[in-house]
Structure 1
C-alpha cells in the first residue's frame, strides 16, 4: 500500500508540474505498449452532473404537497444550472412516493390493491410539465422520478423520465425488479434497460430496490454506459450506499445515488467514482440540496478504472481466456501430483 501511495504521489507531482491531466502523467510512468492503446484513452469524456435529494411526500391526494414538491424540484434545477450542471438527477418520490396504505382499497390499516383514482393526476402532470419547461429554459437535462399512468385497468409504472435540454421526454425507464408490495398491489413492472447519451457520455437508469440486483448493473456495463443513475426512497439507505460503491468499482463506471433528504444523516445523495470512492455528497442535515461533480475520464478517481480496468474486463468477457485455454493431460487430471 505504501508503494502504491508513493507511486500516485509521483504521478500527481508530475501532473502539477507539467499541467497534464492525471491520465497523461500516468502514461509517462506506465506507457501503453504500441498497438495496445485503450479506446477510452483516445476519447476522453467530461460532463458536469448534479445529484439531488428532496423531501419525501407520500400522499398523492394532497394537492398543495404535490405543488410544493414541484417548486422545490425547480429550485434545485436552478441551483444545478447555476453551478454549470449539464444533467440533474432526482430521487424516487421527488414529487410524491405514494404510500401503500394511503392508496390501499383495504386501508388505511391493511395493504391491498392500490386505488390509483385517488391520485391527483392532473396536478402531478402539471408539475411535471412545469419541470420540463424549466429544463428547456435552463438547457438542462433532467432525470425525474414519477408514477407513469397506463390505460386502465393496468397499474402504472414506477418510472424515471429523461427530459432533454429541449424540455422533451426522450425516454423513460420503468422499474423492473419491484418489491413484493409494489408488484403485488401497486405497479406494473418494466421490461427493458434504458440508456441515453448527453455530450458523448452514456447514462443508464435504475430505480427503487434494484440496487440489490448486480446483474442489472452488469447489464449496463455491457451496454457501455459511463454512469448509472440510481434513484430510490431508501432501501436500507446505508447498505444501499455501500452497494452503490461496490457496483461502481466492479463495473468501472460512475454511479449517481439519489435518495430523499430524510436519509441524509446516514446516507446522503452523492456520486461514486469508477474506483468506488465518493466524489461529492449532498448535505447531511435533512435539507434539500445538490452535489455537483465533473464526470471526467482524465480525473485521478477515474483514470486507471476507465482507461485500463474497464477495457480489460470487456476484453476478458469477450472470450480472450477461452481462446487461450489449452488441452493438456496434466490439466485434465485434477488429482495430478505436484
Structure 2
C-alpha cells in the first residue's frame, strides 16, 4: 500500500507540473505486460477509399471488403499499428438508392434491401485478418438494430487480436440522416493502443466543436475522424480545414479519412497538434494510403496551458467592481 501511495504521488506531481490530467500523466509511468516502458510513438496509417452506395449490391460489398483487406496488408507492410478508414468504407448507403419512395425523392430508407449477411461476413473476414496482421483497424459501416429501428452509422474498432473492441455511432447527424436513415448514437467512444488514447468522430461531426472538446476532456491523444463529406469543393474542403483548426485548438492529432471520390477536394491525412498536415494521400480520386508516426514525446505546451486557462485561472485577474471596467461606452 505504501508503494502504491508513493506511485500515485509521483503521478499527481507530474500532472500538477505539466497541466496534464491524472490519466495522461499516468501513461508516462506505465509499462508493457513484460515490464518494458510503453512506446513513445505509434505508427498510424490513414486511407481514402472509393465507397459504394448500395448495401444491397452483394458483389460491390464483397469488393469493398477485399479492397479494405488490401489496404490492411499495405498498412502492415508500412509497419503501422493502426489503420484508419473512412465513413462507409464497407458500405456507404446513398439516400437516393435507399429511399423507399424512389430515387427522385428522398423518403424513409428501405433497410430491407441491405445484404446484412454479406456485410457481417465481410466484417468477420476483416477482423480475422486484423488478428493475423496484429493490426488495429477502424472502419465505417452500418450497424443493424432491432426492427423497426433504423441502423446506426458506425465506426467499428477492431483490435489486433481480431475482435471488435468497441463501436462508435454517429451522434450529430445531418437532417436527412436523422429524418430518413439512421438512429443517432448516444455517447463518445475512446480506446487505447500501446498507451496512445484515441477518440472517434464521424460524418459531419467536425462541424460541431463540442464533440472534439469533449474528447479533449476525455484525454485523448488523437481523434479518428471518418467522413464521406458533402462531396463538393465548396463544402468538403472546409471539413478538412475544420479538422485542422480543431486539432490546433485542442492540442491533439486528428486523423482525417475521407473517400477517394472526394480526394481532389480534401484528401485523407494526419494533422499534428499544431494544426499542420504531417502526411496526406494524393489529391487524386483513387484509393490510397498515408502513414506517419504519432510522437508522444513531442513538446505540446499549448494543451496543458489551455486546461489551466479553462480551470478559472483568469478570475483572479478580473476587476468586476472597477467602474472603468464596467463602463462599456467610456474612453
TM-score of the pair, normalised by structure 1: 0.83
The alignment status of 1:313 with 2:312, answered yes or no, reads no
The alignment status of 1:245 with 2:244, answered yes or no, reads yes
Alignment CA distance shift 1:180-1:337 (3 Å): closer
- Extract structure 1 runs of 4+ deviating beyond 3 A: 35-45, 323-333, 335-338
The alignment status of 1:50 with 2:50, answered yes or no, reads no
Structure 1 window deviating more from structure 2 (279-288 vs 64-73): it is: 279-288
The residue matched to 2:312 in structure 1 has which SS? helix
Match of 1:226 in 2: 221
The alignment status of 1:160 with 2:155, answered yes or no, reads yes
C-alpha separation in 2, matches of 1:233 and 1:157: 15
- Asked if structure 2 preserves the Cα contact closer than 8 Å seen for 1:330 and 1:336, the reply is no
- Asked if structure 2 preserves the Cα contact closer than 8 Å seen for 1:45 and 1:297, the reply is yes
Aligned-residue offset at 1:237: 2.0
Aligned-residue offset at 1:204: 0.6
Match of 1:19 in 2: none
- Asked if structure 2 preserves the Cα contact closer than 8 Å seen for 1:50 and 1:85, the reply is yes
Alignment CA distance shift 1:329-1:264 (3 Å): closer
Aligned-residue offset at 1:142: 0.6
Unaligned runs of 5+ in 2: 1-15, 29-38
The residue matched to 1:312 in structure 2 has which SS? helix
Match of 1:6 in 2: none
C-alpha separation in 2, matches of 1:132 and 1:188: 25
Match of 1:255 in 2: 254
Unaligned runs of 5+ in 1: 1-34
C-alpha separation in 1, matches of 2:18 and 2:118: 53
- Among 134, 154, 168, the alignment partner of 1:173 is 168
The residue matched to 1:143 in structure 2 has which SS? strand
Match of 2:120 in 1: 125
- Among 68, 89, 104, the alignment partner of 1:109 is 104
Match of 2:82 in 1: 87
CA distances 1:114-139 after superposition (whole Å, capped 9, x unpaired): 11010000011100000011110011
- Asked if structure 2 preserves the Cα contact closer than 8 Å seen for 1:255 and 1:273, the reply is yes
- Asked if structure 2 preserves the Cα contact closer than 8 Å seen for 1:266 and 1:284, the reply is yes
